[in-house]
Homo-oligomer: A and B are copies of this chain.
Amino acid sequence: MDNTDDDCPLLLQDNDSNHDGEVVSLLSEADERGMKRSSSSSGSLHHVVRTYESRELSVDVQSADEQKLDVENRISNIRYKKSADYEALDYDTIENELHGEEERKMSSSDWKWIQFQRWIICMLIGIMTGIVAVIINICILELTAVKMHVVEQAIIHCVKNRCLFVPLVLWIAINVVLVTVASLLTVFLAPVAAGSGIPQIKCFLNGVKVPNVVRFKTLVTKVIGVIASVSGGLAVGKEGPMIHSGSVLAAGISQGRSISFNLNTRFFKHFRNDREKRDFVCAGAAAGVSAAFGAPVGGVLFSLEEAASFWNQALTWRIFLCSILSSYTLNFFMSIYHHHPGDLAYPGLINFGKFSGSYEGFELPIFLLMAVFGGLSGAAFNAINHKITVFRLKYLKAKYFKVLEVVFVSAVSATIAFVLIYWNSECKPLGQDPYVRLQFFCNDGEYNTMAVLFFTPPEESVKSLFHDPLGALQPLTIVIFVLPYFFLACWTYGLQVPSGLFIPSLLIGAAWGRLVGNCVNFIWPDDIWAQDLSKYALIGAAAQLGGTVRMTISLTVILIEATGNITYSLPLMAVLLLAKWVGDYFNHGIYDMHIHLNKVPILPWEPPALSTNIQAREVMGTPVVTLRTVPLVSDICSVLSDPRNCHSGYPISDSEGKFRGVILRTQLLILLKHKEFVERGGSSERIKLSVFRDSYPRYFPLSVINVSEGEQQCHVDLRPFLNPSPYTIQENASLPRIFRLFRALGLRHLVVLNDEHKVVGMISRKDIWKWEHKEKQHDE
């Protein structure tokens, strides 16, 4: 599996440093020392380009003025501190001479072989994701069964012997132990594995390099963590984490090596770059959705919706195949586990059960009212979770605090559940609920309805709420269940454990949906259509989910596929749409909310409204550090070691100042490491493209490169390595135009040229993000 560690040596110590073309907002006189100022008078603003030409500028020559400038930068950037943790991914191909040469040597059959490998990789991803889903599923089932057995025995024992604190303590103890395992792993091994992983995957597919998001240790944490936290009785689901797991698997398999295990195969070398990796991560995310919900089409849509860029037909087919295989694999193994080999009833981790009913046209208004309530309820959920998350970010910074919070929540959850089960011990004769038999505090031959809701795995509780016959659950039981569960779920999401949000939302929604069904049944007690509570539970679940996550068309398809009944597609769509509208009136969807709180520079779907009059020159970062086509090694070292130049790429100018291309920081590092100097006869035995690919994605910091005093005077011929014709834009280009380029082509940076073909600025994703951010703050 691979790495997205930061390659910028100074970044790790200093988060305030600029990278990726960030704006140095003030210019001091000191800038002139060691740089040439070439200002263009064509625009209304003066742009300054710093060109490194000699060794004069070195880090020690820093005047008081420059230090002042640094401090100012630090202050002005402090609000974007968090965003500096995130680099962008490189989705643009570097079409340099090496690339051209490689392609010239490639025959048509080589090309086809590469295409074929893509299909193979996608098939592997699908199968592996299915297997991981099987492992998670079986472990949770087994662990829960053991836990349930132990506690039930203790209760039976203690009801007779009046020692009810024993099962409570036992229950809390088991839960706390399980959850602590999940929490320790998450906090100390891979913090990025916390939560559902959907926001992280959203960011990755959007083009932001979230550190460690697709590493092997993240996968391990995610899998073990989700098993422990679901079995540990937290109000979490295992579906979101499944999507993250699929993505990590995809990133790992597609690279044909594991750096964690120091394993490097000959396979799939061609795919070692951001662009290819993203395509496979799309497939992995789709396979994850497919396995989680048994929804292959929903999986494909999820990937396309989040990865945006443009819809590539061949890629879509591969994602589709990957999704199908994932669902098939899960089904195959689960049917064996359930002793019905060949039965195709287990396409996903969650199964909504069979919806056989239908609905009447006049029920639609009821559904739409439910959608409004779902939107309100979801917005309330998000608002409360926002407060909690802000509190956490502010006060719960120490690692042991984080673990303690998880333990505390786990204990509270168990206690509340236990108390409610005891207090509300509504008992029903066995057989009325087809799914579970939990005696608890009831007499023999009876089961406790509250225990069904609290004590079984959440997927089973959802099923009970969906399908239990009319009288099986008292409305009061549901009310007593749903209120505390709502707050528990709200508190739980954002804890340092892997935790899905789908199931808690479905559970809350199904619960109040069932209550609505009870009301309808109360008003029209004699009508047959009002006897079927399952449709109300389903619509409630959809409304709650739509109000919380606000995902769009893919969510609709996922729900339709999980329901397995196309009849409900129309009301489901209408309800999801309305719930989203209502929710959007109040706040963002929960994933977007967490992305915003983490200040990830994610690009939205559309350019900011009414921004045509904003021009490139107002958004771009300037001054820009440019390099010559054949610079001195010492110049390169100065540029790379200067904390202010910690960009991802540098424009190259020729002696007349004309723009000649772009070179990436990582390429420069590799050229220095391999001592590709003109004086050493570099071009005769020029380094190959494979060297660049092999270094991906774990580039080294500048500090590991030893350049002797003599070598500082050598030159590096950058021409074969630079990208000679990247996308550029004129300085009067409008913001929507720039935005569309970034969004549609997945760019990392864009060079701004004046009408003399000289570099006047660079625009990075972050520049656009910051601009929007400032505007919003200004508006507020």
Contact = CB atoms under 8 A, between A and B. Distances in A.
Interface of A: 93, 95, 99-100, 103-104, 106, 108, 111, 296-297, 300-301, 304-305, 308-314, 316-317, 320-321, 324, 327-328, 332, 335, 341-344, 347, 358-362, 552-553, 556-557, 560-561, 563-567, 569-570, 573-574, 577, 605-606, 609-610, 612-613, 616, 658-659, 724-725, 727-730, 732-734, 736-737, 740-741, 743-745, 753, 755-757
Contacts of A728: 728, 730
A100 B613 contact: yes
A296 B568 CA distance: 12
Contacts of A740: 745
Contact of A757 (B304, B724, B756): B756
17 contacts: A93-B736, A93-B737, A296-B573, A305-B311, A310-B743, A316-B552, A320-B553, A341-B361, A342-B362, A561-B569, A563-B566, A564-B566, A725-B734, A741-B745, A744-B744, A756-B757, A757-B757
Contacts of A308: 310-311
B744 A733 contact: no
Nearest to A740: B745
A606 B316 CA distance: 12
A577 B321 contact: yes
Contacts of A362: 342
Given A93-B736, A577-B317, A344 B610 contact: no
Nearest to A566: B564
B313 A556 contact: no
A304 B304 CA distance: 10
A94 to B, nearest CB: 11
Given A327-B570, A725-B730, 16 more contacts: A103-B612, A103-B613, A297-B560, A310-B310, A310-B743, A310-B744, A311-B311, A320-B577, A324-B573, A342-B360, A724-B730, A724-B732, A727-B737, A727-B741, A741-B745, A756-B757
A199 to B, nearest CB: 16
Contacts of A305: 311, 313, 316
B557 A744 contact: no
Nearest to A323: B573
- Going nearest first, the 6 A-B pairs with the smallest beta carbon separation are A342-B361, A744-B744, A725-B733, A313-B605, A564-B566, A755-B757
Nearest to A581: B317
Given A95-B612, A103-B612, A310-B744, A725 B736 contact: no
Contacts of A111: 609-610
Contacts of A327: 570
Contacts of A741: 727, 745
A574 B317 CA distance: 11
A354 B561 CA distance: 17
Contacts of A745: 740-741, 744
Residue of A106, A609, A732 with most chain B CB atoms under a 10 A cut-off = A609
Contacts of A736: 93, 95
A204 to B, nearest CB: 17
Nearest to A308: B311
A757 B656 CA distance: 14
Contacts of A311: 304-305, 308, 310-311
A359 B743 CA distance: 43
Nearest to A104: B613
Nearest to A779: B108
Contact of A296 (B301, B570, B613, B734): B570
Contacts of A570: 296, 324, 327-328, 344, 347
A244 to B, nearest CB: 22
Nearest to A725: B733
Contacts of A730: 724-725, 728
A327 to B, nearest CB: 7
Contacts of A552: 313, 316-317, 320
A768 to B, nearest CB: 16
A113 to B, nearest CB: 12
A737 B610 CA distance: 29
Contact of A755 (B553, B659, B727, B734): B659
Contacts of A569: 296-297, 561
B566 A565 contact: yes
Contacts of A309: 310, 744
A392 to B, nearest CB: 29
A317 B551 CA distance: 11
A566 B612 CA distance: 46
Nearest to A107: B610
Nearest to A331: B570
A342 B316 CA distance: 38
Contact of A606 (B304, B312, B360, B734): B312
B556 A297 contact: yes
Contacts of A314: 605-606
A36 B344 CA distance: 74
Contacts of A108: 609-610
Nearest to A735: B95
B95 A553 contact: no
A659 B728 CA distance: 15
Nearest to A307: B311
Nearest to A110: B610
A9 B553 CA distance: 45
A217 to B, nearest CB: 32
A637 B740 CA distance: 35
Most buried by B among A301, A359, A658, A659: A301
Given A311-B304, A612-B95, A560 B566 contact: yes
Nearest to A347: B570
A100 B561 CA distance: 46
A733 B751 CA distance: 14
A740 B737 CA distance: 15
A103 B610 contact: yes
Contacts of A300: 553
A321 B577 CA distance: 8
Contacts of A557: 297, 557
A674 to B, nearest CB: 24
A310 to B, nearest CB: 5
Nearest to A728: B730
A731 to B, nearest CB: 8
A361 B334 CA distance: 13
A612 B312 contact: no
A197 B363 CA distance: 37
Nearest to A335: B361
The interface centre, meaning the residue of A342, A561, A727 with most chain B CB atoms within 10 A of its CB, is: A727
A749 to B, nearest CB: 15
A573 to B, nearest CB: 5
B567 A344 contact: yes
A567 B564 contact: yes
Contacts of A577: 317, 320-321
Contacts of A725: 616, 729-730, 732-734, 737
A755 B556 contact: no
Nearest to A756: B757
Contacts of A613: 100, 103-104
B297 A737 contact: no
